[in-house]
Structure 1
Amino acid sequence: MATAREHPAVAAIRKSGASKVKVAVSDIDGVLRGKYLHRDKFLGTAEPYPKGGFGFCDVVLGWDMMDVCYDNTTVTGWQHGFPDALARLDLDTVRHVPWDNGVPFFLGEFINADGTPHPVCPRQTLKRVLKRAEKMGFQVMTGMEFEWYNFAETPQSWAAKKGVAPEPLTPGMFGYSLLRVNQNRDFFNAIMDDMLAFGVPVEGLHTETGPGVYEAAIGFSEALEQADRAILFKTGTREIGARFGIMPSFMAKPHQPLPGCSGHIHQSLSDGKSNLFFDAKAPRRMSKLFESYLAGQVACMMEFGPMIWPTINSYKRLVDGFWAPVKPTWGMDNRTASFRVIAGSPKATRLETRCPGADVNPYLAMAAVIAAGLDGVEKGLKLTAPPITGTNQGAEHIARAPRTLIETTRNFRESKIARDWLGDTFVDHFAATREWEWRQWLDAVTDWEMKRYFEII
């Protein structure tokens, strides 16, 4: 029987007679891990703490994206036996999956046995940063954009090809093409329509430059909701694509000679009523708050490197002469800068952080950029660096971003700023997972090596 204090989402499911619900949590890499729960199990799970919650093997925080367990972590690992961690559903995330018979869906997060946030849970890490922002008097508003390649493949065909030569959905470099959209309009429309029905509104969707490349902008929202939308967009796009024999890939750089795939993050701060980044009287219409927030990212964004460039492949995107920025620079409506200031109306004024790739865990990337910006606000940093013009003109003295995951990971591990905002436990754990990823690369024998050395050397 329903209680007087029951959450509306739970009451609706109880009344609907739904036989099951679908739940998911984010692992370290931003891969959604989930399951179906029987209706009765869900109703018990949805009770308030300490009665509510359910066990979810903590291996999802202790293995990589290929389900291989880390051997260098302490929070979870073989030494602990991979017990159940307590997962709690955020009942406010309720939505229905339109391509799965409308099954109710919830996102969850990990908590400790005493109900406190789990220190390495990605969603809790973002919430930790947002809680500090709230104490400062700010509501953080964000929007994510993703670029990704689409291939005419299935998991079976891709496995048969052994990871070589995926077939692009369409040929050629054809950005903003209505012709290419029309050739795959059922898939294109399904992304727009099904995502909207799934509670992930897409503001804009178009082809990007590259064979089979699309770009989507997710509707602006409060930051936690935006990160939820972003991780659901990546998973949902893959599930929708499978209906059409299409395999989307959010790799940062699938092809060496072609542009990579971004995961840009738009941000502004609000007091709940107005955009605090806008100042009509300022020369650039940028408030002093906006300048300090931007100065924070210019000063310390690189210390959060592995959170915005989390994979080996991330750094293949950071090459000179392509669209991805390679230095911590800022500019006025300059798409070649890492930090693009869009200063216009009170509603539209915002910062676009263009460093992250499409391969990010949205919770962690968003936590990183917000923490870097708010660190500048807390310290009252001044925006002393001038904006660049053109492509890095005026940035000759600025050091470029590191080119390898192990470099950014070592910087991250040593960062006092990262530890201040994210906590020692998270920094140590995440750094260990990135060191693991680097070691897997060191052990790998690649196609490049075979082609270069097999016959000649």
Structure 2
Amino acid sequence: MDTNQIIEYLKNKNTDKVKFAFADIDGVLRGKVIHLEKFIAGLQSGYGFCDVAFGWDSADALNTDIDATGWHSGFPDQQCFIDISTMRFIPWQNDLPFFLADFSQTDQGAAEVCPRTLLRRLQKKCTDMGFHAEFAQEFEWFNFKETSETIAGKHYRNLNPLSSGMFGYSVLRPSQNSEYYYDLFNELGKFDVPLEGLHTETGPGVYEAAIIHDEVLAAADKAVLLKASVKEIAAKHGLMATFMAKWNEQLPGCSGHIHQSLWDLEKKSNLFFNEEDPDKMSDLVKHYIAGQLYCLPYIMPFYAPTINSYKRLVEAAWAPTTVSWGLDNRTTALRVINQNEKLARLETRIPGSDTNPYLALAASLASGLYGIENRIPLHVPATRGNAYTQGLDKLPENLYDATMIMSKSPLPMELFGSAFINHFSKTRFWECKEQSRYVSDWELKRYFEII
């Protein structure tokens, strides 16, 4: 529907309000509920948000190290624009109309640091190169019989999981919480975040959901909305969901793997597949993989954006630690899946569930296209067997080192622009600085009495 049709449609539904949101640098949705008349009035001119939204971290602490906003800016409004193609209705909120927004139409600085706007630019570049990018992100997360109040009261310790035991692919466990389980599948489908599959993973109260693939920007939209929606649906059931990459050192981490393929613009031919190749791989996908491998060490914060991200990226924990690829190999950073043309794709396995989907998908697409543009040969052989034990190049092991590499290299600026990289780097250094100020339980236990 075009703008006029959407306005008429909403009026005919007798709705008096609309909800919309945009994703900040951490992928956290920030938005408003506005009156229908305000919605109509702002469709062309936009809706003002205080630019502090680009300076807050995930805990709403103001990052004083960045240029995009701060006391020096006076905190003016920046104009946010709704993307009418994202219209859907929130079934667990009485079918409230909902839209996603970004800052792609503004001539102010917000456009330079908006994650969705960044992915929009890469989407256009991909199309201009003659490719349709088909993507999907899948997520694992832990569920608890807790609320934000009870968790805070327990200081995030001794939490009560939704179910007990290490029971991946369980048929029993979801049946014991069937109302919540089927609400997730059904309500997300009604919200235009359709799931290909939903099942338990190994660990107490862990679920995994794979979203049905879509064009890259729509896929990122659905990934962002899945994370927010799961939390809202869980709260309706008196539960809490966490998408931390590693909430407990004794339990598995939570991944956010990215599946991707390039097709012709008519979406008739999967350009990653070649029946004549011994591994069924086209030259295009080989360049795409080579590009991702080459760029990986320089853009790790896009895939692992938090201090906690790197607690998941350890050996023998079902997460990659090396610059590697393989054929259906779950120990490598990149996994080729190519049994047939329809399903042939590349899985980037580095991201955890704590990623900002707009940035994680942008990193995958940009680095893959870089390999195609520069015709980078795939000299790195496919890893056979255990990638942890073969002496392969290691990925950065913490956020500070990863951000330092990103900020010092010209490559990320070439891929994403200097304005975005300068801003994003400063937000990741801020994260490191904030973490360094706090005394952990580990430090207390290790040093309080003995040292």
1:36 to 33, 36, 50: 33
Give the secondary structure class of the aligned counterpart of 2:152: helix
Over 3 Å counting, the alpha-carbon distance change for 1:239 and 1:283 in structure 2 is same
1:64 corresponds in structure 2 to: 57
Determine if contact 2:68/2:109 at 8 Å carries over to the other structure. no
Sequence identity of aligned pairs in percent? 47
Counterpart residue identity of residue 452, structure 1: R
2:306 corresponds in structure 1 to: 311
Give the secondary structure class of the aligned counterpart of 1:96: strand
2:397 to 388, 393, 403: 403
Determine if contact 1:86/1:111 at 8 Å carries over to the other structure. no
2:322 corresponds in structure 1 to: 327
Matched ranges for 1:8-407 at <5 A: 8-46=5-43, 48=44, 52-111=45-104, 113-114=106-107, 118-272=111-265, 273-392=268-387, 395-396=390-391, 398-407=392-401
**How far is the alpha carbon of 1:114 from its aligned partner?**
3.6
1:429 corresponds in structure 2 to: 423
> Aligned equivalents of 1:240 and 1:28: distance in 2?
24
Over 3 Å counting, the alpha-carbon distance change for 1:394 and 1:278 in structure 2 is farther
> Aligned equivalents of 1:63 and 1:271: distance in 2?
40
Determine if contact 2:80/2:106 at 8 Å carries over to the other structure. no
Q: Quick check: 286-295 or 415-424, which moved more?
A: 415-424
**Gaps in structure 2 of 5+ consecutive residues:** none
Determine if contact 2:331/2:388 at 8 Å carries over to the other structure. no
Matched, 1:6 2:3: yes
- Runs of 4 or more, structure 1, over 4 Å off, are none
**How far is the alpha carbon of 1:387 from its aligned partner?**
0.9
**How far is the alpha carbon of 1:5 from its aligned partner?**
6.6
TM-score by length of 2: 0.97
Q: Quick check: 425-434 or 340-349, which moved more?
A: 340-349
Q: 1:365-386 CA deviation, whole Å, 9 max, x = no partner?
A: 1101111111100000111111
Counterpart residue identity of residue 410, structure 1: M
Over 3 Å counting, the alpha-carbon distance change for 1:290 and 1:111 in structure 2 is closer
> Aligned equivalents of 1:363 and 1:236: distance in 2?
16
1:453 corresponds in structure 2 to: 447
Over 3 Å counting, the alpha-carbon distance change for 1:64 and 1:386 in structure 2 is same
Counterpart residue identity of residue 118, structure 1: A
- Count of aligned positions: 449
Q: Cα RMSD (Å) of the superposition?
A: 1.5
**How far is the alpha carbon of 1:394 from its aligned partner?**
7.7
Q: 1:217-259 CA deviation, whole Å, 9 max, x = no partner?
A: 0000000000000000000000000011111100000111221
Determine if contact 1:327/1:338 at 8 Å carries over to the other structure. yes
Determine if contact 1:85/1:112 at 8 Å carries over to the other structure. no
TM-score by length of 1: 0.96
> Aligned equivalents of 2:87 and 2:111: distance in 1?
22
